[in-house]
A = this chain, B = another copy of it.
Amino acid sequence: MKYSKATNYALHTIAYLGLLPSGKAIGVKPLAEIQKVSPTYLSKVLTTLVKAGLIVSAPGVKGGYRLIKGVEDITFLDVVQAVEGLNPLFHCSLDNHVHDNENCFIQQTMNEAEKKMEDHLHSQTIAQVLKKIDQRVSDYLKSEAG
C-alpha cells in the first residue's frame, strides 16, 4: 500500500503555486520540468485538482494554473483526497450481510485509524510547507522557474 505518484506531483505543484505572486498563473510546462514528469500527464493530475476546486485553470496565451484559496486554507488532506479519492483504505470483504457491519470492531478500528491519519493531514496546511520548507528547496524551485 502506498500513495500514488500523482499525489506526490499534486502536493509539489500546490506548493509551487503557493510560491507564485498572488493571482499569477503558470503553465504546466515549467511545472512538469521541475518535477521531471511529462506535461500531458501532469496536466491530467492538475485537472483533478481543478475539479476538486483547489486550483483554477485558463487556456490561452497568458493561461495556466493558479490557486484559488490562500495556502493557509489548503490542507494536505484536501490535496490527498482530491487525488486518492474518498474510498476507505479498509473494506469489509463480505458482500452478503452475514455480519453486522455497523458494529464490526475490525472495520471500526481500521476506519478510526485511517481517520487519525486524515485528522493530521487536515491539521497541516500548505502554508506551513512554504514556511518550513528548506531554503534550498525554495531556491531550487525559484531557479527552475526561469
Contact = CB atoms under 8 A, between A and B. Distances in A.
14 contacts: A1-B2, A2-B88, A8-B90, A8-B93, A12-B106, A35-B93, A76-B109, A98-B137, A98-B140, A103-B132, A104-B133, A105-B128, A106-B129, A113-B120
A72 interface: no
Interface in A81-114: 84, 87-93, 98-100, 103-106, 109-110, 112-114
A28 interface: no
For this chain, the copies found in one complex come to 2
**Most chain B C-beta atoms within 10 Å of own C-beta, residue among A4, A113, A128:** A113
A100 B3 contact: no
